[in-house]
Structure 1
Amino acid sequence: MLADIFLAEPLNNLWVGKDPFVAVEALDGPVYRQKEGRVVFRVELDGAAYFVKIHRGIGWREIFKNLLSFRLPVLGARQELLAIRCLEQAGIPTLKPVGYGRRGLNPARQHSFLITEELAPTISLEDYCQDWERTPPPLPLKRALIDRVADTLRGMHGAGLNHRDCYLCHFLLHTDCPPAPDNLRLSVIDLHRSQVRSRVPLRWRDKDLAGLYFSALHIGLTRNDKLRFLKRYFRQPLRDILIREASLLSWLERKAARLLERYRRKYAPGVQT
């Protein structure tokens, strides 16, 4: 049973008279991620590049597993589409959807898809900043990027959206022009786990801040860099932030350390850094 669908150009022309769900399942391209009933791959259609995300249902077992672990399961593509619309309304650059569909009433077997334009040329901030510790960037550029990330995250939270995977790898820096302090374009991606409300609870705001801090632990940020981010994000005098948010700042250090330890156990067991 078809619940919701939209197609923009050129999909509307390419798939006229076709079942969009059959058409999207017939697409093929390099797979970037495949996990828990969701596949993400890249395709080229009519001379343009797109990313396709298909959700085929995660099953009741996975739903209950998430709920018992106090995690909200991702049931389909609608969650990401709502997040994109939220960021668009807030004026925060993000993905541009050109196709979406959702059918099925059973949440464990819901079939949905989301097709977005490829953002290119871009580089993730994780890759762009990975050599900063050994080769620091020009100070004006570094400060401008810190400001832009802080402004973006503040804008997201102000719009009622928390990311849930708030890492540097999910901020894309556009490189069609060489990045410069007065010429920086950042887009937020990978929003399938995001939550949209009228107001972001402090718990989820803090989780986003912790994830971002964890992902920036090894890019050579100084104490002044961190203080600059805090001042830009909270828009308060630094002295007031250090007093009012003392418990948060202490928690961020502990949470980032736990995330780092979890990462090491999963991806680099036995490696000491």
Structure 2
Amino acid sequence: MNFYLHDRLKKYFPVPGAEFDQIMTLAGERFRHQEGRLTQRIMLGGKSYFIKQHRGVGWKEIVKNLLQLRLPVLSAKNEWASLNRLQALGIAVPPVVAFGKRGLNPARLKSFILMEELAPVVSLETLCKNWRSVPPPFAFKRMLVEEVARIARILHQNGINHRDFYICHFLLDTYHGLVDLTAKKLKLYLIDLHRAQMRRSIPERWVIKDLAGLYFSSKDCGLTQRDLYRFMRVYQDRPLREIIQSEKTFWQKVKKRGEQLYRDHTG
């Protein structure tokens, strides 16, 4: 069994050796329940946390994923490892205060990951939904585009692809408000890493999938061609002229995949 519990939470689970079972029975406000995974908001000592409890996906789900050439998510261990890796790379993620995994049968693994709730925050999906009719200040939009591009570059340069790389999974820290936000105060959290993959280098198709997800999910935000060029320049950390000359085919693939995702989503 793998188990970690932050010292400050140990007082809430005082029975030695039974902490795993106690945490697996925690219940609160339900947010998502699918594929053997339940996500809830709970309270401990007046503080709010999110917990993801995995109770086994079953062999049927595993076989279905493998036949679709997809790696099934069997436990919370993948998210635990991904969050630790991103934190080491300097990317803001939800602080993990507990993690556990028990069992050998891959179809019946029991696991959990407990994270502090991020607040106050707003998702980029919510923040940007009215930008087409009410454009934000230029400097603010530029900072956000460049920061998302920087995070994407760090992920991909270090062999990590998110697999659900949409703007709803970027949360902007609003502690300092939005009116006088500067680059020094800008803090974007990346969440929902349970399907992330880590390897020495990422096959191009997975890089394209991640970037296409960003393109698709930001398509209704009123971004201009200049905004897209700015993203490309920061993401590849090269002059735009060089990118257009040498990477044109790559970015055409990203756009084509993103447009298809948008058509599939909007019907």
TM-score range, shorter chain: over 0.9
Q: Which residue of 2 aligns with 1:107?
A: 106
Deviates more, 1:247-256 or 1:92-101: 247-256
Q: Which residue of 2 aligns with 1:120?
A: 119
Letter in 1 for 2:84: R
Q: Which residue of 1 aligns with 2:254?
A: 252
CA distance in 2, matches of 1:146, 1:256: 17
Q: Which residue of 1 aligns with 2:147?
A: 148
1:20: Cα distance to partner?
2.3
Deviates more, 1:192-201 or 1:28-37: 192-201
> Residue 87 of structure 1 contacts residue 159 of structure 1 at CA under 8 Å; is this kept in 2?
no
Return 5+ residue gaps in structure 2 as ranges. Answer: none
CA distance in 2, matches of 1:199, 1:92: 19
TM-score by length of 2: 0.95
Count of equivalent residues: 263
Structure 1 residues 116-150: Cα deviation after superposition (integer angstroms, max 9, x where no partner): 00010000000011111000000011111111111
Deviates more, 1:119-128 or 1:197-206: 197-206
> Residue 49 of structure 2 contacts residue 117 of structure 2 at CA under 8 Å; is this kept in 1?
yes
Letter in 2 for 1:181: T
CA distance in 1, matches of 2:97, 2:158: 23
Q: Which residue of 2 aligns with 1:210?
A: 212
Q: Which residue of 2 aligns with 1:163?
A: 162
SS at match of 1:228: helix
**1:222-237 to 2 correspondences below 5 Å:** 222-237=224-239
**1:60-209 to 2 correspondences below 5 Å:** 60-179=59-178, 180-182=181-183, 183-209=185-211
Return 5+ residue gaps in structure 1 as ranges. Answer: 266-273
Letter in 2 for 1:5: F
SS at match of 2:220: coil
> Residue 163 of structure 1 contacts residue 191 of structure 1 at CA under 8 Å; is this kept in 2?
yes
SS at match of 1:34: strand
1:261: Cα distance to partner?
2.0
CA distance in 1, matches of 2:77, 2:113: 8
CA distance in 2, matches of 1:148, 1:39: 31
CA distance in 2, matches of 1:228, 1:181: 18
> Residue 24 of structure 2 contacts residue 112 of structure 2 at CA under 8 Å; is this kept in 1?
no
Q: Which residue of 1 aligns with 2:42?
A: 43
TM-score by length of 1: 0.93
SS at match of 2:163: coil
CA RMSD of aligned residues (A): 1.1
> Residue 8 of structure 1 contacts residue 98 of structure 1 at CA under 8 Å; is this kept in 2?
yes
Deviates more, 1:108-117 or 1:178-187: 178-187
Letter in 2 for 1:83: S
